[in-house]
Amino acid sequence: MSAPAEERAEEITVVDIREENLRFVFKKTIVDALTAEIKKDREEHIKPLLEEWRRSGNKSFSVALPDGTKIGQVSLTEGKDATVIADDTAFFMWMKKNHPEEIETVVVPEKVVPATSYEQVKPAALNRLLEEEFIQAGDQIITKDGEPVPGVEHLKAPEPSQFSVTYAGTKAADKDKTKQKLFAAYRNGDLAHLNLGSALPQIEG
């Protein structure tokens, strides 16, 4: 005698849940393993990129399948030079003497302590003068007359410490198609010559 329909439905549901749990855990295990590998790979992969960047100044590198299909590019993330105030007091005293119009008074309202005030260089003053008057000379900032501006330094951007991956295509749908081409190349064994680590099964070409 067969079980009632309600019992059969419950039994099927339990089996489905078990399979779905196994499916999810398997995929998560692969993702976790790949995440660990990618973290280590990033630390190693940036080394040859930096060597080529130092040699040629090239920061972007094209990525293509063995048949020449463009997949995207790997790009070093370059920082930017920056002019910073290294000595607030020295810069303030020079600005007060040479550009008093760039000095403002800040009033601190009375709360726990009595009201007070202090002077400071206007926050936008340095950027404004860099555009209009100051000149970069190596790691120094000087005026148009050649006078060094005390308390200010120009810092060169540090070497890149990261890189990014972009996929070929201008729209999201195009980028998805590019990724599918990469997956297809893997399934077809076109990437069998690459060391893909231990998280992914190696498919022979």
Q: At 135, phi and psi to the nearest 5?
A: -130, 140
Give me the numbers of helices (H) and strands (E) for the chain, helices first please: 4, 9
E-state strands within the chain: 60-64, 70-76, 82-85, 103-108, 116-121, 135-137, 140-142, 152-155, 163-167
pLDDT score recorded for residue 181:
96
Give yes or no for residue 164 having a pLDDT over 80: yes
* Residue of 190, 164, 176, 91 lying closest to 134 (CA atoms): 91
Residue 160 is encoded by which pair of tokens?
A: 């890149």
- CA–CA separation, 148 vs 144, rounded Å? 10
Phi, psi of 118 (to 5 degrees): -150, 160
Average pLDDT over residues 141-149: 95
pTM: 0.65
User: For residue range 14-27, what is the model confidence (pLDDT) as tens digits?
Assistant: 778 889 999 999 99
The whole-chain average pLDDT of the chain stands at: 90
Task: Pick the closest to residue 182 from 172, 168, 162, 202 (CA basis).
Answer: 168
For residue 111, the model assigns a pLDDT of 74
Instruction: Please report the pLDDT score of residue 11 as a whole number.
Output: 59
Indicate the pLDDT class of residue 12, thresholds 50, 70 and 90: low
Mean of pLDDT values over 192-204: 84
Dist CA 164 CA 60 (whole Å): 9
State the Cα–Cα distance between residues 54 and 63, nearest whole angstrom: 20
Q: How far is CA 53 from the centre of its chain?
A: 17
* Percentage above 70 pLDDT, the chain: 93
| CB hemisphere CA count around 92 (13 angstroms) | 11
* Average pLDDT of the residues in 39-66: 95
Q: List the domain boundaries for the chain.
A: 5-78+162-187, 82-155
pLDDT at residue 136 above 60? yes
Q: Are 119 and 105 in contact (CB under 8 A)?
A: yes
Is 58:170 a contact under the CB 8 Å cutoff? no
Amino acid identity at 70: K
